């Protein structure tokens, strides 16, 4: 039986349930199996297992069942999280064959193997580190499957021995057992594999030892689920392209365990929207646009080994697009037994290429990813532009970055991106590169406002070395234990507008705007150094094979003092070429052939200074020092080595920045265009090719009567005006139109020739 601390956990749960805001989780159903299926599911799973549509899964499972007959670990250290340890997948396959086919020989082999396996684990988090600890938790999941699926074959003594070993192994792994008070439910390692594996164990052994389930269910219903139900509606994960994926897998598994017991999923259905971020952020070269802490990766046509989580979600929610994602993805990261249970072979996949080319990821994020096409497996020479840009309403900490207002732009290579990398002793968590450069605003395509006297940020209470003029953590702590801790600090940016269209599938424009000012505020007592940091993005699909896209970025910054230096950043892998107000970035190595040309229209040429920073010994330069790292290997997700900083020469409290970026082939591509600045008392913007983009000069949405002139040669133009009050507007001039601006977007979009226009707000 469990130690007395488990009884204490049970009493704590009961006390918690007496609090109005807490939830009393339901108890597991009677009988076995109940880990990922119920007795009534067996006939259906058996039919699925023998379906021709599942032949590949069946063949793999039968192969896995022959991998080993000996469960004992020679060195006492399990390997891999899900599949790398052949003994674990073998046990799962044998237990599945007993459960579904009634093969008692296989079942008894699974029981003998798991008893030997867990008894032979002689490792600990303290001695062997995080990765072995994660494998120890995966071993507990294997024990839960065998315990539950082979329950009739276990003697009372074997049940008690398995429970004892589960508690022992969990106690030696990270966070121990039972876990201490104050574990984090929002970020951190505790949000990874331990809770899901111990939840599975708690479900399996509930009849003999209910307190394991009570504790894990309390953490799920009253800790993890409320946090995820805060950010899932935004349709993405707050921990970025690497950790967001790995942690999301465990979250999905927890939901799968609960739903397969016949209980309502404590996480909102919005959980099923999170995979779409990984679809939209995938570039034709096979890599994902980087967000947050991420590593070196190699480009190629393959998909990530994430098929298991996607299969579970597709089956739970009946999502045909996620089913397509699951079937494209490699499933080798999970045992075939789990794939056999998760995959709904009757769900017909819908091609991801049918999705709209732009997707908005709303509060608490405020991000857009816009594309000119799909070609998800098109390779490095596919003529598809992909842009990611965000307001970042909330900062979540841990593997999240201080990158509100950042944008990335891909065309035949990562032309501008996150700088730095999360790797090695000099670049990993808590390193000097990580603290003073990589997670800071200076490493991103955002804005800096440097007060020479501003404090250095703090991380876990430790004052850092560099002042970059960027954003600050909401507190001196870089991680939060609960969603309540985060909410108490409030949002760090304001989403002002978002819209794409007019065609919802193939938009001409994708627009996002926000005010980032609060993110630049240091903790008290330091006074705010800015009152406004407005940033607006418009991505234009130019429908031109030679010049597929342009990204227009408009910024409005008001600082407390005119002398605070304001800088507009653009990062690149190779050295930029700067000629007057024009900056050119190219990438022609490793089979890539992309070029980005940035035209700085504001500050004006007479008031604009463009400084190059980078090169050997200055790749990650900030506040007079380089913060390098030693890469383990060269990969395609380059950490960058250069940036430009655009600043006004004349100090002023308020400064405007307007930059127009176009992409094209580097070798054999066309010449760059010459965007033209358009300015009035109320509006500022540019014409590029056959497009006109105009922004309101102030944060306040415009009303009344607005005039502007469109220069250039004759021809039909597509005109986008942003920053408008919602309601009915009349367009006068070369065309006469009656249009309506929405509350979300505040835009008008219409076609017309060059000439003088007047917009009049009606109601």
Look up the CATH number of the domain holding residue 538: 2.70.98.70
Number of domains present in the structure of the chain: 3
Q: How far apart are CA 227 and CA 379, in angstroms?
A: 37
Q: How far apart are CA 419 and CA 436, in angstroms?
A: 13
Angular region, 181: left φ>0, alpha ψ -120 to 50, beta rest: beta
Q: Is 343 helix (H, G, I), strand (E, B) or coil?
A: coil
Considering the domain boundaries, does residue 617 fall inside one? yes
The residues that are catalytic are 189, 243, 399
pLDDT of res. 13: 42
pLDDT of res. 630: 78
Give the range among 240-254, 329-343, 517-531, 624-638 with minimum mean pLDDT: 624-638
Q: Residue 743 pLDDT more than 90?
A: yes
Quick one: 725 and 635 in the same domain? no
Question: Could you tell me which of 534, 547, 504 has the C-alpha nearest to residue 749?
Answer: 504
Instruction: Please compute the mean of the pLDDT values over residues 269-281 and round it to a whole number.
Output: 97
Q: Which residues contact 96 (CB under 8 A, 6 or more apart)?
A: 61, 145, 149, 337, 340, 341
**Per DSSP, what are the bridge partners of residue 388?**
369, 408
Q: Which of 336, 354, 372 is the last residue of a domain?
A: 354
Angular region, 640: left φ>0, alpha ψ -120 to 50, beta rest: left
Considering the chain, what is the average pLDDT of its residues?
93
Quick one: 746 and 693 in the same domain? yes
pLDDT of res. 475: 81
- The H-assigned helical ranges of 25-76 are 42-49, 55-64
Cα–Cα separations (whole angstroms), residue 428 to 107, 273, 433, 616? 43, 30, 8, 21
Considering the domain boundaries, does residue 23 fall inside one? no
Considering the domain boundaries, does residue 721 fall inside one? yes
pLDDT digits (tens, 9 = 90+) for 276-316: 999 999 999 999 999 999 988 778 778 877 778 999 999 99
Q: Which residues contact 298 (CB under 8 A, 6 or more apart)?
A: 635, 636
Kindly state the tokens that stand for 708.
């502007």
Considering the domain boundaries, does residue 9 fall inside one? no
Crossing angle of helices 42-49 and 86-101, rounded to 10°: 110
pLDDT digits (tens, 9 = 90+) for 532-558: 999 999 999 999 999 999 999 999 999
Q: Which of 655, 674, 693 is the last residue of a domain?
A: 674
Quick one: 207 and 141 in the same domain? yes
Instruction: Please compute the mean of the pLDDT values over residues 465-483 and round it to a whole number.
Output: 86
Quick one: 590 and 466 in the same domain? yes
For residue 477, what pLDDT band results from cuts at 50, 70 and 90? low
Quick one: 331 and 394 in the same domain? no
Quick one: 52 and 161 in the same domain? yes
Quick one: 668 and 696 in the same domain? no
pLDDT of res. 633: 63
Given a contact cutoff of 8 angstroms between Cβ atoms, the answer to whether 710 and 716 are in contact is: no
Q: Residue 217 pLDDT more than 80?
A: yes
DSSP conformation class of 241: T
Q: Which of 658, 674, 690 is the last residue of a domain?
A: 674
The CA dihedral of 350, 353, 358, 364, to the nearest 10 degrees, is 40
Instruction: Please compute the mean of the pLDDT values over residues 684-698 and round it to a whole number.
Output: 97
Q: Which residues contact 747 (CB under 8 A, 6 or more apart)?
A: 497, 499, 511, 720, 721, 722, 724, 741
Considering the domain boundaries, does residue 739 fall inside one? yes
Quick one: 723 and 643 in the same domain? no
566 vs 86, which has greater pLDDT? 566
pLDDT of res. 463: 87
pLDDT of res. 6: 34
Q: How far apart are CA 248 and CA 261, in angstroms?
A: 20
Q: Residue 458 pLDDT more than 50?
A: yes
Cα–Cα separations (whole angstroms), residue 741 to 128, 555, 702, 738, 760? 59, 22, 11, 10, 12
Instruction: Please compute the mean of the pLDDT values over residues 418-443 and round it to a whole number.
Output: 93
Instruction: Please compute the mean of the pLDDT values over residues 8-28 and round it to a whole number.
Output: 58
Instruction: Please compute the mean of the pLDDT values over residues 178-184 and round it to a whole number.
Output: 92
Considering the domain boundaries, does residue 5 fall inside one? no
- The number of beta carbons lying within 10 Å of the beta carbon of residue 462 is 12
For residue 639, what pLDDT band results from cuts at 50, 70 and 90? confident
Angular region, 610: left φ>0, alpha ψ -120 to 50, beta rest: beta
Considering the domain boundaries, does residue 16 fall inside one? no
pLDDT digits (tens, 9 = 90+) for 363-385: 999 999 999 999 999 999 999 99
Q: Domain with 723 in it: what CATH number?
A: 2.60.40.2750
Quick one: 277 and 410 in the same domain? no
Q: Which residues contact 237 (CB under 8 A, 6 or more apart)?
A: 231, 244, 245, 247, 248, 274, 277
Residues of 39-75 as b/e, b for ≥16 C-beta within 10 angstroms? Answer: eebeeebeebbeeeebeebbebbeebbeebeebebee
Q: How far is CA 163 from the centre of its chain?
A: 36
Exposure of 254 by Cβ count < 10 A (0-12 exposed, 13-18 middle, 19+ buried)?
Answer: buried
Q: Which domain holds residue 343?
A: 35-354
Quick one: 145 and 293 in the same domain? yes
Residues, the chain: 763
- The H-assigned helical ranges of 343-424 are none
- The number of beta carbons lying within 10 Å of the beta carbon of residue 191 is 24
For a pLDDT cut of 90, what percent of the chain falls above it? 85
pLDDT digits (tens, 9 = 90+) for 113-127: 999 999 999 999 999
Quick one: 212 and 343 in the same domain? yes
For residue 7, what pLDDT band results from cuts at 50, 70 and 90? very low
For residue 425, what pLDDT band results from cuts at 50, 70 and 90? confident
Cα Dmax for the chain = 88
SS (H, E, C) 141-159: HHHHHHHHHCHHHCCHHHH
pLDDT of res. 478: 64
DSSP conformation class of 109: H
Q: How far apart are CA 79 and CA 114, in angstroms?
A: 15
The model's pTM: 0.95
**Per DSSP, what are the bridge partners of residue 551?**
539, 661
Q: Which residues contact 752 (CB under 8 A, 6 or more apart)?
A: 710, 716, 717, 719, 731, 733, 734, 735
pLDDT of res. 332: 64
Q: Which residues contact 135 (CB under 8 A, 6 or more apart)?
A: 77, 78, 79, 80, 81, 84, 85
Given a contact cutoff of 8 angstroms between Cβ atoms, the answer to whether 692 and 716 are in contact is: no
Q: How far apart are CA 702 and CA 761, in angstroms?
A: 9
Q: Domain with 136 in it: what CATH number?
A: 1.50.10.100
Considering the domain boundaries, does residue 85 fall inside one? yes
119 φ, ψ (degrees, to nearest 5): -65, -25
pLDDT of res. 636: 52
Quick one: 364 and 348 in the same domain? no
Q: How far apart are CA 587 and CA 589, in angstroms?
A: 6
Give every strand in the sheet of 737-741, ordered side by side: 705-710, 755-761, 727-732, 737-741
Q: Which residues contact 155 (CB under 8 A, 6 or more apart)?
A: none
Q: Kindly provide the residue ranges of all beta strands, DSSP E only, lying in 635-700, ordered along the sequence.
A: 642-648, 654-665, 676-679, 683-688, 691-696
Give the range among 257-266, 444-453, 706-715, 718-727 with minimum mean pLDDT: 706-715
Give the range among 2-11, 30-39, 71-80, 191-200 with minimum mean pLDDT: 2-11
Q: Kindly provide the residue ranges of all beta strands, DSSP E only, lying in 145-220, ordered along the sequence.
A: none
């Amino acid at each position: 039986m469990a130690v007395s601390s488990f009884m204490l956990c049970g009493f704590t749960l009961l006390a918690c349930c007496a609090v109005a805001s807490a939830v009393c989780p339901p108890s597991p159903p009677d009988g076995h199996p109940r880990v990922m299926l119920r007795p009534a599911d067996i006939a259906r799973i058996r039919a699925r297992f023998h379906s021709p549509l599942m032949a590949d899964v069946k063949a793999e499972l039968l192969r896995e069942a022959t991998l080993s007959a000996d469960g004992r670990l020679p060195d006492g250290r399990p390997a891999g999280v899900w599949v790398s340890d052949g003994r674990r997948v073998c046990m799962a396959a044998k237990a599945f064959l007993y459960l579904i086919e009634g093969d008692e020989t296989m079942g008894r082999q699974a029981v003998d193997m798991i008893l030997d396996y867990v008894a032979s684990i002689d490792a600990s988090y303290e001695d062997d580190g995080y990765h072995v600890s994660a494998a120890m938790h995966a071993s507990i999941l294997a024990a839960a499957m065998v315990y539950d699926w082979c329950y009739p074959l276990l003697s009372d003594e074997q049940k008690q021995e398995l429970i004892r070993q589960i508690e022992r192994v969990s106690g030696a792994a990270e966070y121990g057992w039972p876990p201490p008070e104050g574990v984090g439910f929002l970020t951190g390692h505790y949000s990874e594999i331990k809770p899901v594996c111990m939840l599975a164990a708690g479900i399996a052994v509930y009849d003999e030892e209910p307190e394991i389930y009570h504790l894990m269910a309390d953490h799920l219903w009253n800790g993890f689920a409320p946090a995820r139900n805060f950010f899932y509606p935004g349709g993405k994960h707050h921990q970025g392209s690497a950790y967001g994926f790995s942690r999301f897998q465990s979250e999905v598994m927890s939901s799968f365990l609960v739903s397969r017991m016949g209980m309502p999923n404590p996480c909102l259905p919005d959980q099923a929207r999170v995979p779409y971020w990984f679809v939209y952020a995938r570039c034709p070269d096979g890599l994902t646009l980087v967000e947050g802490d991420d590593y070196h990766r190699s480009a190629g046509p393959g998909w990530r080994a994430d098929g298991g989580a996607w299969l579970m979600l597709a089956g739970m929610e009946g999502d045909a697009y996620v089913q397509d994602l699951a079937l494209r993805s490699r499933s080798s990261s999970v045992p075939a037994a789990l794939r056999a249970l998760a995959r709904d072979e009757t769900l017909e996949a819908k091609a991801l290429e049918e999705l709209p080319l732009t997707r908005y990821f709303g509060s608490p994020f405020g991000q857009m990813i816009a594309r000119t096409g799909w070609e998800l497996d098109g390779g490095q020479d596919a003529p598809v532009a992909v842009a990611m840009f965000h307001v970042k309403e909330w900062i979540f900490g841990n593997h999240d970055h201080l990158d509100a207002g950042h944008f990335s732009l891909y065309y035949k290579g990562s032309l501008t991106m996150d700088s730095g990398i999360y790797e090695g002793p000099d670049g990993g968590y808590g390193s000097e590169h990580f603290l003073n450069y990589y997670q800071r605003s200076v490493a991103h395509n955002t804005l800096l406002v440097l007060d020479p006297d501003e404090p250095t940020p703090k991380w876990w209470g430790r004052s850092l070395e560099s002042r970059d003029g960027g954003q600050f953590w909401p507190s001196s702590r870089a991680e939060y234990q609960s969603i309540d801790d985060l909410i108490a600090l409030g949002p760090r940016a304001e989403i002002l507008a978002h819209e794409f269209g007019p065609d919802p599938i193939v938009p001409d424009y994708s627009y996002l705007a926000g005010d980032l000012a609060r993110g630049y505020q240091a903790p008290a007592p330091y006074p705010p150094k800015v009152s406004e940091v407005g940033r607006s993005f418009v991505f234009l699909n130019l429908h031109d094979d030679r010049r597929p896209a342009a990204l227009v970025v408009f910024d409005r910054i008001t600082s407390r003092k005119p002398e605070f230096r304001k800088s507009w950043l653009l990062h690149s892998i190779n050295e930029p070429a700067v000629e007057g107000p024009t900056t050119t970035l190219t990438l022609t190595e490793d089979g890539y052939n992309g070029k980005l040309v940035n035209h700085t229209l504001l500050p004006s040429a007479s008031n604009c200074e463009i400084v190059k920073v980078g090169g050997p010994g200055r790749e990650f330069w900030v506040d007079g020092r380089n913060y390098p790292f030693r890469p383990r290997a060269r990969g395609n997700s380059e950490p960058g080595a250069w940036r430009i900083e655009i600043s006004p020469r004349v100090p002023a409290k308020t400064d405007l920045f307007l930059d127009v970026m176009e992409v094209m082939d580097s070798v054999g591509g066309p010449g760059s265009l010459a965007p033209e600045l358009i300015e009035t008392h109320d509006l500022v913007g540019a014409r590029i090719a056959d497009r006109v983009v105009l922004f309101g000069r102030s944060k306040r949405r415009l009303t009344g009567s607005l005039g502007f002139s469109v220069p250039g040669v004759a021809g039909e133009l597509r005109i986008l005006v942003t920053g408008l009050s919602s309601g009915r507007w009349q367009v006068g001039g070369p065309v006469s139109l009656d249009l309506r601006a929405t509350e979300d977007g505040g835009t008008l979009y219409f076609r017309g020739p060059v000439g003088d226009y007047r917009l009049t707000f009606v109601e």
